[in-house]
A = this chain, B = another copy of it.
Amino acid sequence: MKAQTGTDRLGSRTALPVRLADDLRGRLAAQEWSPGEQLPTEADLVDSYGVSRATVRQALKTLEERGLITTKRGLGSFAADVGTIHAGMQELKSISATIAEMGHRPGMRYHHRLLRPPTAQEQDMFGIGPDEQVLDIQRKIMADDIVVAYSYDVLPRWVFPADFKPKDLTGSVFGFLADNNGPTPIRALANVKAVSDLSVAWDGALAQDELFLLLDQLHYDEQNRPFMYTRSYFIEGRFAFTVMRTTR
């Protein structure tokens, strides 16, 4: 009767509040409640989803932190007006997934990918020795065949299978790791900068005064190990970045 065993009205086997939050997010995106309108009360959600109030409250909390709803004590929760649910810079997803969610066709073109010894900085960053190798990637990322970003990535050798060859990597890096028993990204610390550097593009396909939004980020896995460093140069104007800022 309860959702303990698996599927009641929600998906399969991830954390219960996460599934509930995702479901509500979908209903919000579908405009089930117009902006400012009151959502079902916590008690109603408990009944309709068959989960405990603690679970409901945690799901509502994350939606509130993401700015999709506001909750007022003694009154209820209300839908915020964010017409298009913004993907949001703070959600950690692969660039390809983000492009797909925006309704475009993701693609990529590898400029090079090779195994090489790590620099001193990379040894320190990944906690590896000078004899362990790293995979060095340079690629273009495209949406509907239009270049939206140039990305420079570095990963330590251990994230890949023992018999890995650089040529095996074709599509999304995250996708490859998920399929090959690699680490799962849990979070990333990103530095955001504005840059204007002609040399980021190796194909000379850009205008003189091209601007980039640089996301300089280090990804961590479940064990809190840094396993991927990326510098992604997004061509200004071809990719929208939004951040929902909330007070704690």
Asked whether A240 lies within 8 Å of B191 as measured between CB atoms, the reply is yes
- A222: chain B residues at CB < 8 Å are 70, 72
B-contacting residues, A206-223, CB 8 Å: 209, 211-213, 217, 220, 222
Most buried by B among A21, A191, A243: A243
- Let me know if A245 is at the binding interface, CB within 8 A: yes
- Let me know if A201 is at the binding interface, CB within 8 A: no
- Let me know if A189 is at the binding interface, CB within 8 A: yes
Q: Smallest CB-CB separation from A188: which chain B residue?
A: B245
Chain B nearest CB from A148 CB (Å) reads 14
Q: Please report the C-alpha to C-alpha distance between residue A237 and residue B196 in the assembled complex, in whole angstroms.
A: 13
B-contacting residues, A66-108, CB 8 Å: 67, 70, 72, 78, 80-82, 86, 89-93
Chain B nearest CB from A133 CB (Å) reads 24
Asked whether A245 lies within 8 Å of B212 as measured between CB atoms, the reply is no
Chain B nearest CB from A187 CB (Å) reads 4
CB-defined A-B contacts under 8 Å, sample of 23:
A58-B58, A58-B61, A62-B248, A67-B187, A67-B189, A70-B222, A80-B187, A80-B220, A89-B89, A89-B243, A90-B244, A91-B246, A187-B244, A187-B245, A189-B243, A190-B245, A191-B242, A192-B192, A192-B213, A192-B243, A193-B213, A193-B241, A211-B211
Given contacts A89-B245, A186-B246, 20 further A-B contacts (CB under 8 A): A21-B248, A36-B224, A58-B58, A58-B61, A61-B61, A62-B65, A67-B189, A72-B222, A80-B220, A80-B224, A82-B189, A90-B244, A91-B245, A91-B246, A91-B248, A186-B247, A189-B245, A192-B192, A192-B213, A211-B211
Q: Which 8 A-B pairs have the closest CB atoms?
A: A194-B194, A92-B245, A192-B241, A187-B246, A188-B245, A194-B211, A194-B213, A190-B243
